[in-house]
Structure 1
Amino acid sequence: MIIAETDRLILRQFEAKDIHTLFLLNSIPEILTYIPGEPMTSVDQAEQILSDIIIANYEEFGYGRWAVEHKADKKVIGFCGPKYITEFREVELGYRYLPEYWGQGYGFEAGKSALESFPDFGVHEAIALILLGNKGSENLVKKLGMEHRNRDRFMGHKVNVFHKHL
């Protein structure tokens, strides 16, 4: 299911064919510098994340992390989208991209489009949870109009919490 389109990107629900990209997004050390948890070591783990978290979120909430597909090469280059964070009782804008697509404006393009789609799913506020030191991610959410709200803890790590009314 397509959620949104930009000039260069399609935001859509993840599908089984996206397993390899999910694995890469959760196993490449460079991507995981500011992501809590251990890197994945098998594609089976990506399959489990797809079924137990992503698809389960689609079924429970009607939304979840969305695949970001690059129109020019039809390749999934990352994810961007909402996730209900139980500990905060709020919806987070989360995103992650393959390194070869960093620094080209895809994060802003997908993030803007994702946030514009949140109200279609009954979500009118969003947070971003960013591990301390992740200046690139902080700059992105500020560019998306999110404001620093406070510092907190998430998954055992200190995070800066950004917020936006949609």
Structure 2
Amino acid sequence: MAKGNPLQEQLLKAGLVKKSKVSAVAREQHLARHAKAGSAPSETALDAERARADKAERDRALERERKAQSRIAELRAQARQIVDDKRLPAAGEIEYRFSSDGAIRTILVDEDQRRKLSTGALVIARVGERHALLPRAAGDKVRERDAGMIVLDHGQGADGDASADTSEDDAYYAQFKVPDDLVW
């Protein structure tokens, strides 16, 4: 130790400290003296950091949107699969008319299917340009995944407030008799 601290040399000679401890302290002092001062970051560094943070946030937002679109596509595919698996054959001689996409559509049903459609036991779903008859349970599963596919559902109320109005209307119109042979 040619240029050591005289106090360190005296403590070392007296045996109060070890040589390894003296070297460690000397290294720390040297690093503290010669290390670059922790100056404030420059404006360009701050701008670069802000740009990196903005890009990371945009990337996260795009990824969330991509995942949401992927989830929607997955749910639509599940709904189409349910329609394909659970569709009932539309075989019959009675034309059942309903509104879909602003136009009147027709599907052939038998008497039992017509009655079930009017009570809400069957629903009509649209897949692409075609329409399919579905049982209520399958229609509910399709509605959970993509409500836009259900075209006709007489068993589904619009909302809670409308059901109270409907019950009052039903009580009023119950006094009028509707002919049994009325078919739309």
Calculate the TM-score normalised by the size of structure 2.
0.21
Instruction: Report which of the two has the higher share of helix.
Output: 2
Q: Which has the larger radius of gyration?
A: 2
Higher RCO by CA contacts (8 Å cutoff, separation 6 or greater): 1
Instruction: Report which of the two has the higher share of strand.
Output: 1
Calculate the TM-score normalised by the size of structure 1.
0.22
